[in-house]
């Protein structure tokens, strides 16, 4: 489908749509079609209609706007379903400003109009980090495709991202870099591209997307002998999401988390509450990185690429040392040895 055909399809659904909003819509859907991320069982026109329910207008606001006064200077953008408007903070620098438009539009398209829940998150927080990470990933993919640019991968000190110090986050993105780092590693373990996560978040009906994700995980769990069940595997990542969220938005526990303290228990999943802290977030992610690296190495997985994205500096350096040693041994003689601890 051509770009002009996409524009005409959108205008057919909303003849009075303004040209700026139409352009953002057309950019988004043209790239989604081109990249093939919309599942065959999902109707394109229904997605356009769905987006218009939540986002029939894009508005850039300044510090005098009610959104700024209500949510503060840190919020980059949000959707207001009552006004059917996506609000984007005008002071954001490009390319983040335009990327944030696509981020919020992606959320709108992947929202279930029956209950206003987004993507695979229809009943709980299960997979919440994956949902948010794929949203930012795809928003930046749209920008890259439309503007014909590439973004370089960056090394970001963990403490620069509302995380505990002592780590490094590797990502190409301009926002949610930690989420992207974690999604990259989940993709390596599950042996799927990031577009897979985009696609399953369109499949909210009957939790089809979540079921496909669990199926992929069960295959990987068996292949690499991972010790965690599906919910436990995702819990560590969704815990990281919840800590980051509470450290970002205004709430009574924001400063507790940012100052290194521990909050009361929060219900991450139904009937599963955990206190939140940067220290526990760092520990959980470090344990997951170490476990996945070792299991991939033991069972023929892509542990070399995985190692690059290990966040904890010490564990990443150890993993790289192991890789160097085994490559050296493999070049001199056959060896089945694998690392047993990092």
Residues 214-226: tens digit of each pLDDT: 999 999 999 999 9
- Could you tell me the pTM of the whole model? 0.92
**pLDDT at 336 > cutoff 60:** no
For residue 64, the model assigns a pLDDT of 84
Q: What would the pLDDT profile of 266-319 be if each residue is shown by its tens digit?
A: 999 998 999 999 999 999 999 999 999 999 999 999 999 999 999 999 999 999
To the nearest whole number, what is the mean pLDDT of the chain?
A: 92
Q: Helix (H, G, I), strand (E, B), or coil: what is residue 185?
A: helix
Question: 228 in the Ramachandran plot: left (φ > 0), alpha (ψ -120 to 50) or beta?
Answer: beta
Q: Which two tokens stand for residue 234?
A: 């995702």
Q: Which two tokens stand for residue 45?
A: 């026109």
List, as one string, the DSSP characters of 114-180. TT--BTT-SSSSTTHHHHHHHHHHHHHHHHHHHHT-----EEEEGGGGTS-SSBEEEES-SS-HHHH
Q: Helix (H, G, I), strand (E, B), or coil: what is residue 227?
A: coil
Query: CA–CA distance from 238 to each of 59, 63, 95, 231 (Å)?
Result: 31, 32, 27, 10
What band does 331 get if pLDDT is binned at 50, 70 and 90? low
Interatomic CA distance for residues 276 and 260, integer angstroms: 10
Residue 39: CB partners within 8 Å, gap ≥ 6? Answer: 199, 202, 203
What integer is the mean pLDDT of 3-8?
Answer: 96
SS (H, E, C) 281-332: HHHHHHHHHHHHHHHHHHCCCCHHHHHHCCCEHHHHHHHHHHHHHHHHHHHH
Domain boundaries, the chain: 3-157+165-214, 227-332
Interatomic CA distance for residues 129 and 176, integer angstroms: 10
CA nearest neighbour of 105 among 77, 83, 67, 71: 77
For residue 210, the model assigns a pLDDT of 96
| Residue whose structure tokens are 């206003």 | 116
Q: What would the pLDDT profile of 173-222 be if each residue is shown by its tens digit?
A: 999 999 999 999 999 999 999 999 999 999 999 999 999 999 999 999 99
What band does 330 get if pLDDT is binned at 50, 70 and 90? low
């Amino acid at each position: 489908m051509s770009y002009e055909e996409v524009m005409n399809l959108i205008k057919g659904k909303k003849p009075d749509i303004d040209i700026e909003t139409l352009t953002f819509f057309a950019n988004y859907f043209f790239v989604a079609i081109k990249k093939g991320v919309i599942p065959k069982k999902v109707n394109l026109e229904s997605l356009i209609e769905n987006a218009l329910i939540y986002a029939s207008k894009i508005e850039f606001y300044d510090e005098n706007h009610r959104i700024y006064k209500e949510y503060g200077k840190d919020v980059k953008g949000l959707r207001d379903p009552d006004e059917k408007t996506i609000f984007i903070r005008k002071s954001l620098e490009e390319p983040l400003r335009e990327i944030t438009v696509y981020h919020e539009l992606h959320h709108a398209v992947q929202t279930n109009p029956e209950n206003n829940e987004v993507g695979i998150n229809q009943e709980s927080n299960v997979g919440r980090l994956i949902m948010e990470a794929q949203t930012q990933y795809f928003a930046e993919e749209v920008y890259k495709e439309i503007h014909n640019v590439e973004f370089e991968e960056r090394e970001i000190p963990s403490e620069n991202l509302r995380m505990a110090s002592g780590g490094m986050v590797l990502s190409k993105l301009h926002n949610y870099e930690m989420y992207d780092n974690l999604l990259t590693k989940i993709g390596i373990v599950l042996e799927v591209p990031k577009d897979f996560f985009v696609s399953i978040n369109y499949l909210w009906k009957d939790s089809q997307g979540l079921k496909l994700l669990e199926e992929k995980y069960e295959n990987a769990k068996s292949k690499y002998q991972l010790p965690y069940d599906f919910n436990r595997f995702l819990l560590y990542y969704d815990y990281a999401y919840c800590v980051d969220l509470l450290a970002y938005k205004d709430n009574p526990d924001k400063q507790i988390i940012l100052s290194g303290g521990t909050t009361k228990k929060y219900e991450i999943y139904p009937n599963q509450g955990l206190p939140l802290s940067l220290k526990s977030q760092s520990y959980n992610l470090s344990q997951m990185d170490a476990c996945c690296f070792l299991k991939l190495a033991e069972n023929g997985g892509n542990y070399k690429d995985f190692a690059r994205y290990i966040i904890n500096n010490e564990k990443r350096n150890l993993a790289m040392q192991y890789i160097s040693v085994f490559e050296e041994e493999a070049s001199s003689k056959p060896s089945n040895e694998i690392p047993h601890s990092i």
